Amino acid sequence: MLIKSPKPSALKENQVTDEGIYQSRRTLLKSLGFIGASGLLAQTSTANAGLFDLFKKNPVKAFTVSPLKYQQAPLEISVTAQILTPEAKVTSHNNFYEFGAQKSQPAQLAQQFKVKPWQLTISGHCNNPLTLDYDDLFSSFELEERIYRLRCVEAWSMVIPWLGFSLTKLLQKAQPNSRAKYVVFETLYDPEQMPGQKNRRLGGGISYPYVEGLRIDEAMNPLTLMSVGLYGKTLPPQNGAPIRLVVPWKYGFKSIKSIVAIKFVEQQPANTWNTLIPNEYGFYANVNPTVDHPRWSQASERRITSGGLLARNRIKTQMFNGYGEEVAELYKGMDLSKYY
């Protein structure tokens, strides 16, 4: 009989987020004073209340998701648990400014988002540039189920299940050459479909398209996931349909959604939040309890669990969000207070 011991980063059943608390997390954060990137432009909520009310009174037809075939990832590269967070609440509150800066706006304003046709291009310093269409995203690689901790820069945390494939497999297919030092990701730019891109106030004042980047060794780490689904089904648009990045040891804003372009580059790219507010949001964005955000501590986090809205679920934040065993070597010798 084969017996495997869980890693320190492995999730326990009692750490999985409860459905009822997930939906209330924004209210809770406000009461605790933890308002971060998604609260920078609070005036957006008032300015666009009329638009949002229209969707509440006249809800659009829900986006259709489809079942996916997948396997459980090998234990060696997947930090998983057997309990899944209820689907409905994970898809009801989202950070996706392309569909509005309020947590509830993406679920309302993204429901007519069209993912077909879709193209994901991989280019830059590589020997085999690629273009994948919508069907390729689901057929080119065997899909795995993984459950990862999500640590928001706003100092709340939760657990979310994903379906997808290792980014390494995709990048290796493109055959990056010796000049490829970084990997840049870009979200779809379509103001007609994404109202936050068309209305600057609705979209939080960001210059679009949204851009993120990783060092190539970070991108090649086995934990880095390209997700195409949640809870056994394709991603809904508010969660980044049809394909998004998941980097579990970094703050959530690094996990870029609705990706249309990946490019190998030689120089460190300028990512969206670092460009907008460089003293608050660094390029690396590794979860680090010893490096505070300028406006609040990162030493602890509000773990969203089953204890109810007023439950004392404050826990100490773990370095690299608990994935240090898998990723700490990537940053050996670096000053992580400088490269935050």
pLDDT given for residue 61 in this prediction: 54
Query: Cβ contacts of residue 34 below 8 Å, gap of 6+?
Result: 154, 155, 156, 296, 302
Q: Is residue 340 included in any domain, yes or no?
A: no
Question: Residue 58 above 90 pLDDT?
Answer: no
239 Cβ contact list (under 8 Å, min separation 6): 90, 91, 94, 96, 230, 257
What number is the average pLDDT over the span 252-262? 97
Number of other residues whose CB lies within 10 A of the CB of residue 330:
16
50/241: higher pLDDT: 241
Give mean pLDDT, residues 2-25. Answer: 45
Burial of 217 (0-12, 13-18, 19+ CB in 10 A): middle
Across 328-337, average pLDDT = 97
Domain that holds residue 230: 13-331
pLDDT band at 9 (very low <50, low <70, confident <90, very high): low
When divided into structural domains, the chain yields a total of 1
Predicted pLDDT at 92: 75
- The answer to whether position 113 is within a domain reads yes
Share of the chain above pLDDT 90, in %: 62
Model confidence at 84, pLDDT cuts 50, 70, 90, reads low
Is the residue at 56 inside a domain? yes
The rounded mean pLDDT for the chain is 82
In degrees and rounded to multiples of 5, residue 159 shows phi and psi of -125, 130
164 domain-assigned: yes
CA distance 82 to 57: 38
Q: Is the pLDDT of residue 217 over 90?
A: yes
Give the pLDDT band (50/70/90) at residue 54: very low
Average pLDDT over residues 83-111: 82
The vertex-14 CA angle with 66 and 10, nearest 5°, equals 75
Structure confidence at residue 11 (pLDDT): 54
pLDDT at 20 over 70: no
pLDDT reported for residue 63: 80
pLDDT in tens, 131-189: 999 999 999 999 998 988 889 898 977 788 889 999 999 999 999 999 999 999 999 99
3-state secondary structure of 138: helix
Question: Predicted confidence band at 94 (pLDDT cuts at 50, 70, 90)?
Answer: confident
The Cα–Cα gap between 105 and 178 comes to: 43
Identify the pLDDT of residue 304: 66
Question: Over 50: is that where the pLDDT of 18 sits?
Answer: no
- The CATH number of the domain holding residue 49 is 3.90.420.10
% of the chain residues with pLDDT over 70: 74
The answer as to whether 6 is a domain residue is no
In a domain, 3, yes or no: no
86 pLDDT tier (thresholds 50, 70, 90) = low
pLDDT digits 0-9 by tens, 290-319: 999 999 999 999 776 654 555 567 889 999
In a domain, 119, yes or no: yes
Does some domain include residue 151?
yes
